[in-house]
Amino acid sequence: MQRTTTTRALKSALVGLTLLASTPTFAAEWLYTFRPGDTIWDLCLKYTNQRGCWMTLPKLNGVKNDRYIKPGFVLTFPADWLKNLPKPVSVTYVDGDAFQQPLNSSERQPIHKGDLLGLGSTLTTGDNGNLNLKFADGSSLQMEPNSELSLDTLSSVDGYGIVDSRLRLNQGAVKTRVIKRTPASRFRITTPSAVAAVRGTEYRVSSIDGPTPLMRGEVFEGLVDVNTDKNTQSVPAGFGITAKKGQALTQPKPLLPAPIFISDATPKLLPIKVEWQALTDASHYQLELLHDNQLDELIERRQISDTQRTFDELAVGCYKLRLRGIDSESLQGLASEQALCVAAPLGIPDLNADHLEYSDRFNAQLSWAAVEDAASYRVQVATDLDFTNIISDSEQDNRSIALEGETVLYVRVLAVGSEGQTTVYSTPLQWQPKPNPWIAAGLYALFAILAF
């Protein structure tokens, strides 16, 4: 087995993508970093059930004399030799259908938040499945729907903590953030057409099967070095590339810029319309709705051809929106993020004629009951029931309004919450001056005489 030397490991902190000539196959492996006092004999007894391990392991690792292994040397153990498979990958979020198939098992098991996933496990997500994983070094990975990922290689320092991970993405897409740490983590994702190796960066890889398998890669942070047997391309942050097996790489392509939201992030009542400016070269957009935390817990992901999305059903509270443009080659662009806050609904003010108090025929005071959580009220007065001729429109803290005049007026009120949310207007109340009492008394007398 060819080993990566220390010199080669220190050459660069670049991300490397290597296009393979054929679909690779890997057996699950556990990597152990040799430390002072270790011996092959002791390690075989402690970690494996393999007969003759002490003789076979040095040959497997290209070691001619196991007495001269220096601390820091990385030993590779086949996973099926181990007494207990390491489970250093934890599930931080699950939504929809997600399953794992442990090494040497033919049964799929549902994945739950908090599960620990073992070396050699194969993970799958369904049509609506989303899965977030966290590795022992703090690195994280998000699996998108219809993806299959195998945990091929995991390693340890002093018996714990991942520093080297090799994952196999058979189909679908994953987004990875690798933490910069000491010793440096080495994170590699293999697809049927390429290998992506990462140190301290954020990027996305998707694997597309077909007559000519291809891999798309978008780099959001860091630098990528893409190699094939035909040529090499360096891909900086903000660029993407498509790698097709057996074909020369083209120049990296700039990713679409982050879209600009038009709608603001102030709390609103449902339904809430979210709008953004169109990007010139975007064929469509991807809008993600996430919980408002640092865990990237996805609630909804949609690809939209329009530049707006209306949310009709969400619980009261704040969420996070993440928006990207997608170009004609299906490369995802840089992201914009904005809060989406659903305000608590308010009761609609109730206007009642019983709450009218006249001071004279042409003047009255209209009041209404307080609306819970309302900070103010908007009051409109019009001369017509349709409110096409509004003569007064004001926002006020108090719960009453003075009415005066000699003609019929109409009043309506809406409530405004402390976070800016508003209700619809109340049912309009009709107000009119009181009739002249002398005229009323004369009419009463006339009716009495006629009745007599």
Please tell me the predicted confidence (pLDDT) of residue 199. Answer: 56
**Whether 185 and 301 share a structural domain:** no
Q: Provide Rg for the chain, Cα atoms.
A: 34
CATH assignment of the domain containing 324:
2.60.40.10
Domain end, chosen from 342, 373, 390, is at: 342
Mean pLDDT in residue range 142-163: 73
Structure tokens at 306: 């329009």
Please tell me the predicted confidence (pLDDT) of residue 166. Answer: 80
Please tell me the predicted confidence (pLDDT) of residue 209. Answer: 84
**Whether 357 and 337 share a structural domain:** no
Range with lowest mean pLDDT among 236-250, 296-310, 315-329, 352-366: 236-250
DSSP letter, residue 389 = S
Q: Which residue has the higher pLDDT, 191 or 260?
A: 260
What's the whole-model pTM score? 0.67
Q: How far is CA 271 from CA 314, 316, 422, 423, 438, in A?
A: 9, 12, 12, 12, 54
Q: Is residue 41 part of a domain?
A: yes
Confidence of residue 447 (pLDDT cuts 50, 70, 90): low
Inform me whether the pLDDT recorded for 95 exceeds 80: yes
Inform me whether the pLDDT recorded for 320 exceeds 70: yes
Burial class (CB in 10 A: 0-12, 13-18, 19+), 122: buried
Please tell me the predicted confidence (pLDDT) of residue 7. Answer: 33
**Whether 321 and 404 share a structural domain:** no
**Whether 412 and 329 share a structural domain:** no
pLDDT digits (tens, 9 = 90+) for 263-306: 998 888 888 999 999 999 999 999 999 999 888 899 999 999 99
**Whether 157 and 203 share a structural domain:** yes
Domain end, chosen from 210, 228, 254, is at: 254
Give me the count of residues in the chain. Answer: 452
CA pair distance 415, 370, nearest whole angstrom: 9
Inform me whether the pLDDT recorded for 114 exceeds 90: yes
**Whether 27 and 116 share a structural domain:** yes
Mean pLDDT in residue range 38-49: 91
Q: Which residue has the higher pLDDT, 173 or 443?
A: 173
CA pair distance 89, 103, nearest whole angstrom: 14
Highest mean pLDDT among 244-248, 294-298, 395-399: 395-399
Domain end, chosen from 223, 254, 285, is at: 254
CA pair distance 141, 136, nearest whole angstrom: 12
Q: Which residue has the higher pLDDT, 116 or 210?
A: 116
Spatial contact of 262 and 247, defined as CB atoms under 8 Å apart: no
What's the domain range around 366?
353-431
Q: Is residue 325 part of a domain?
A: yes
Inform me whether the pLDDT recorded for 314 exceeds 90: yes
Please tell me the predicted confidence (pLDDT) of residue 452. Answer: 59
Angle, alpha carbons 80-84-89 (nearest 5°): 95
Burial code (b: 16+ CB inside 10 Å, e: under 16) for 185-200 equals: bbbbbbbbbbbbbbbb
**Whether 294 and 394 share a structural domain:** no
Mean pLDDT in residue range 75-88: 81
Confidence of residue 391 (pLDDT cuts 50, 70, 90): very high
Q: Is residue 380 part of a domain?
A: yes
Q: Look over the chain and give the mean of its residue pLDDT values, rounded to a whole number.
A: 84
Inform me whether the pLDDT recorded for 206 exceeds 80: yes
How many structural domains is the chain composed of? 3
**Whether 222 and 322 share a structural domain:** no
Range with lowest mean pLDDT among 31-45, 215-229, 351-365: 215-229
CATH assignment of the domain containing 187:
2.60.120.1440
**Whether 46 and 142 share a structural domain:** yes
Inform me whether the pLDDT recorded for 10 exceeds 50: no
Inform me whether the pLDDT recorded for 203 exceeds 50: yes
CA pair distance 139, 202, nearest whole angstrom: 10
Please tell me the predicted confidence (pLDDT) of residue 21. Answer: 31
Structure tokens at 312: 């009709």
Spatial contact of 445 and 437, defined as CB atoms under 8 Å apart: no
**Whether 162 and 217 share a structural domain:** yes
- Helix (H) / strand (E) element for 448: namely helix 437-451
Spatial contact of 164 and 31, defined as CB atoms under 8 Å apart: yes
Strand partners for 19: 194
Q: Is residue 446 part of a domain?
A: no
Which residues fall within 8 angstroms of residue 2, CB to CB, at 6 or more apart? 62
Confidence of residue 15 (pLDDT cuts 50, 70, 90): very low
Residue with tokens 């307080």, as numbered in its chain = 370
Inform me whether the pLDDT recorded for 368 exceeds 90: yes
